[in-house]
Structure 1
């Protein structure tokens, strides 16, 4: 939405996401909404990450600029490793350590902006930038946290005071809803493996600071907290978070990305989808940070084979296979003979796949997903039912919520270690794509799509956010 903005109402906003593409893309969508309203946005990241972002529409370019800060070298990180997509999961902690080295360059950038008479009205940053508010405060610039995760997940983690009053010392403590959630809730970890991934957030890692300590410090210093969500998805959650963290909590809407038509040569995966019947393909993607192993990939592949449906699989290489130079699927990744046995009804690609375009294609009928919040939101835009295979952090909570809404089926797993097998994958895929149950799931998904693609309602969330940014600017 283009909007004329008088000079007094124009905001200067610096946005600074965590070095993960799901986060960067969410920040970019927010930045585009602000720029479309006439505000000036400086998007800060590292050179390689900025080069890999999708292009900004030309009419927004004058108001949305990109600022590159070189990422410091850290022992254990390869050259060019500037995002979580560039490293195996066990080295993500080192990316946080490298990111902490951006404190001095960011301080220099702010000092130069102030000296040039362009003091930002806000810095909008991510969950792990606990050192940004003190730097910004030194220049009189207020901070807002932009949380790109499922909002209920932050309520489940809770503020510092709640964790002091109701400590969770054992993994089992995360298997029940926390005491500070005042209404009946299923917000809890069902399996031990899920609880362990949450408990790890409270422990210091290779960066020297736990993720929860980072979040608590920055939320204490931020004037606002912004969420990529809305009341239609999480009713009552923003009032609860406002009460828990004692700060304004603002939903920005779901920030659905646009589906851009491919001009000229269409990517191979879209041309393959062109040849498939409507609603016949399950699109498979597990994000960039799922802790994949060869065993997990083999069971998933054999499950897709057993299900007997068409599939398009955007396959990320697991840890230990990051140095493979070519884009071909290797025998290490998939069971022997899998591609031959599924040829004609399945396509596997380890390179880049245009996920939004693939989900929006008429041939796609369902999404087999890890339930990362960004991917789940992208499915909302297309009204697809979900086959859900969550792994860590907020993903299991998202899966439970989507199952409760009747738009997805979770793959059966061991309640202890979270393992699954090919039969569980095949059963879940068939329930969504083949069985009568799938029609109800698809209908519910389309109903949610109709609500969330109400452009007027979604734009109102951004307008409300802008009003908060205007009201509280200058306060730090």
Structure 2
């Protein structure tokens, strides 16, 4: 790396993330905060992924630079596919295989010029650790999901004593958690883990679990997009379990949208055009709308979409639904919704199958709740605006997040069948009305507001970044 003006005592840091959109913003925000504190950061990714990044403040341009490494071609991987959002789920293993082909280019970059102090990488970059060791570069793993998931998985050494290979092993917290915890999966969620979880090899030849354990065992410490206020006692437990420091970085929310990003598109006159869905929200009463969005990767079937639609119709409240096309549907929209649904709900609801500015929708005064899949990023966004939750988790850490938010009195889960995980319109309507109409909703909203006050405290959040910085300085030569 070239020696840039990092200031007295400034660190040289390389940041290298997994090729998924949900990982992009947290890694960029961590990079921006380190650069703002006087450190030099090289953000490494593939060309198309770098092109998708939002602009960074001009004042950081001298300390934060972007380094493209072309993604190697892999048989079966569509041309131009450089992120998980470009692919169906069954092709993601091929993307990992292509990413593994970046080992030599990354090694060459790290070896060129001044040796960096740190490389901060993602959960799946097991091959980065030998490269870093050979070059005597310290490495840290940055994990963008809930810390409780890492606690649930546990270290490799703890698992043989308490093997979990069948669905009945998962509906209780791991035995290495020494305090009462909601860190468990229901049976139908555990079935997904045992059938399709990260323990199986994929097209890359290395299972996600093996990647994860290799990374965690060899990196110097872990950094987490979380904080003590969201996950009390988890970071001390992680440090004990993995026998290395686990450091909270705070929630790493982006700053206010810039006029240049896609949340603020220019009209033909040159003025900033306000999206139509926000103009619709402008006309609704305060706290009267439930915003519905299940993310881009939720395994929502056409049948699920119909039950969700009918549940919203039965609940009788206003809604804004950012609806992604479920897997298995045709290119048309006719299979997404029950016949006549939009006509019957036109006076109180909007279904948008295009882009919706989620942060602005959540921040809008008309939004009273969020029906969500409990992805960690979306959960953090909603809590930062004090929005109570209607929760419909599907996979990975989403059920753990839903349990934790329900325990804190911030959200209500949609009822599911314990055996197969199915849900129906009645369960959706009951959960929506509890949050939006019934007395319980006031309590949930109050609890969400209290947590919001803590999470948006800039002094607290800056303290977490300062702790990360101190760890990077302290351990870079250990």
Larger mean Cα displacement after TM superposition, 145-154 or 313-322: 313-322
Q: What 5-or-longer segments of structure 2 have no aligned partner?
A: 259-263, 265-270
Alpha-carbon shift at residue 375 of structure 1 (Å): 0.7
For residues 260 and 372 of structure 1, the distance between their equivalents in structure 2, rounded to whole angstroms, comes to: 21
Distance 1:466 1:195, change over 3 A: farther
Task: Please say if residues 198 and 393 of structure 1, whose CA atoms lie closer than 8 Å, have aligned partners that are also in contact.
Answer: no
Larger mean Cα displacement after TM superposition, 305-314 or 388-397: 305-314
For residues 169 and 159 of structure 1, the distance between their equivalents in structure 2, rounded to whole angstroms, comes to: 16
Aligned twin of 1:44: 44
| 1:27-65 CA distance string (max 9 Å, x none) | 111111111112111112222222222221222222221
Aligned twin of 2:175: 179
For residues 149 and 293 of structure 1, the distance between their equivalents in structure 2, rounded to whole angstroms, comes to: 24
| 1:272-329 CA distance string (max 9 Å, x none) | 222222111111111121112111111111211221211112222222459x4xxxx7
Distance 1:198 1:44, change over 3 A: farther
**Alignment of structure 1 residues 116-135 onto 2, 5 Å:** 116-117=113-114, 119-135=115-131
For residues 29 and 203 of structure 1, the distance between their equivalents in structure 2, rounded to whole angstroms, comes to: 32
**Alignment of structure 1 residues 290-309 onto 2, 5 Å:** 290-309=298-317
Alpha-carbon shift at residue 195 of structure 1 (Å): 4.3
Aligned twin of 2:75: 75
Greater relative contact order: 1 or 2 (C-alpha under 8 angstroms, separation 6 or more)? Answer: 1
- The answer to whether the aligner puts 1:250 opposite 2:258 as a matched pair is no
For residues 6 and 86 of structure 1, the distance between their equivalents in structure 2, rounded to whole angstroms, comes to: 36
- The answer to whether the aligner puts 1:167 opposite 2:163 as a matched pair is yes
| 1:82-141 CA distance string (max 9 Å, x none) | 2121222233222222222222221222122xxx22x21111111111111111222211
Q: Which of the residues 225, 231, 235 maps onto 1:234? A: 231
Alpha-carbon shift at residue 365 of structure 1 (Å): 1.0
Aligned twin of 2:215: 218
Aligned twin of 2:426: 423
**Alignment of structure 1 residues 430-469 onto 2, 5 Å:** 430-469=433-472
SS of the counterpart of 1:420?
Answer: coil
SS of the counterpart of 1:145?
Answer: strand
Task: Please say if residues 7 and 39 of structure 2, whose CA atoms lie closer than 8 Å, have aligned partners that are also in contact.
Answer: no
| 1:365-421 CA distance string (max 9 Å, x none) | 111110011110111110000000000111001000000000000001010111111
- The answer to whether the aligner puts 1:209 opposite 2:206 as a matched pair is yes
For residues 129 and 354 of structure 2, the distance between their equivalents in structure 1, rounded to whole angstroms, comes to: 38
Alpha-carbon shift at residue 454 of structure 1 (Å): 1.0
For residues 207 and 335 of structure 1, the distance between their equivalents in structure 2, rounded to whole angstroms, comes to: 40
For residues 458 and 195 of structure 1, the distance between their equivalents in structure 2, rounded to whole angstroms, comes to: 37
For residues 301 and 101 of structure 2, the distance between their equivalents in structure 1, rounded to whole angstroms, comes to: 31
For residues 96 and 355 of structure 2, the distance between their equivalents in structure 1, rounded to whole angstroms, comes to: 24
Distance 1:380 1:419, change over 3 A: same
| 1:159-182 CA distance string (max 9 Å, x none) | 000012222222221222111112
Task: Please say if residues 225 and 250 of structure 2, whose CA atoms lie closer than 8 Å, have aligned partners that are also in contact.
Answer: yes
Distance 1:198 1:353, change over 3 A: farther
For residues 6 and 16 of structure 2, the distance between their equivalents in structure 1, rounded to whole angstroms, comes to: 26
Task: Please say if residues 121 and 139 of structure 2, whose CA atoms lie closer than 8 Å, have aligned partners that are also in contact.
Answer: yes
For residues 399 and 104 of structure 1, the distance between their equivalents in structure 2, rounded to whole angstroms, comes to: 40
Aligned twin of 1:139: 135
Aligned twin of 1:401: 404
Aligned twin of 2:151: 155
Q: How many residues align?
A: 462
For residues 316 and 350 of structure 1, the distance between their equivalents in structure 2, rounded to whole angstroms, comes to: 6
- The answer to whether the aligner puts 1:284 opposite 2:292 as a matched pair is yes
| 1:336-355 CA distance string (max 9 Å, x none) | 22222222322222222221
Aligned twin of 2:267: none
Q: What 5-or-longer segments of structure 1 have no aligned partner?
A: none
Task: Please say if residues 389 and 410 of structure 1, whose CA atoms lie closer than 8 Å, have aligned partners that are also in contact.
Answer: yes
Aligned twin of 1:107: 107
- The answer to whether the aligner puts 1:368 opposite 2:371 as a matched pair is yes
For residues 70 and 316 of structure 1, the distance between their equivalents in structure 2, rounded to whole angstroms, comes to: 30
Task: Please say if residues 141 and 216 of structure 2, whose CA atoms lie closer than 8 Å, have aligned partners that are also in contact.
Answer: yes
SS of the counterpart of 2:170?
Answer: helix
For residues 205 and 316 of structure 1, the distance between their equivalents in structure 2, rounded to whole angstroms, comes to: 26
SS of the counterpart of 1:175?
Answer: coil
Alpha-carbon shift at residue 67 of structure 1 (Å): 1.6
- The answer to whether the aligner puts 1:340 opposite 2:337 as a matched pair is no
For residues 102 and 396 of structure 1, the distance between their equivalents in structure 2, rounded to whole angstroms, comes to: 33
TM-score by length of 1: 0.93
Distance 1:356 1:306, change over 3 A: same
4+ residue runs of structure 1 moved beyond 3 angstroms? none
Distance 1:50 1:349, change over 3 A: farther
Aligned twin of 1:391: 394
Alpha-carbon shift at residue 7 of structure 1 (Å): 2.6
Aligned twin of 2:320: 312
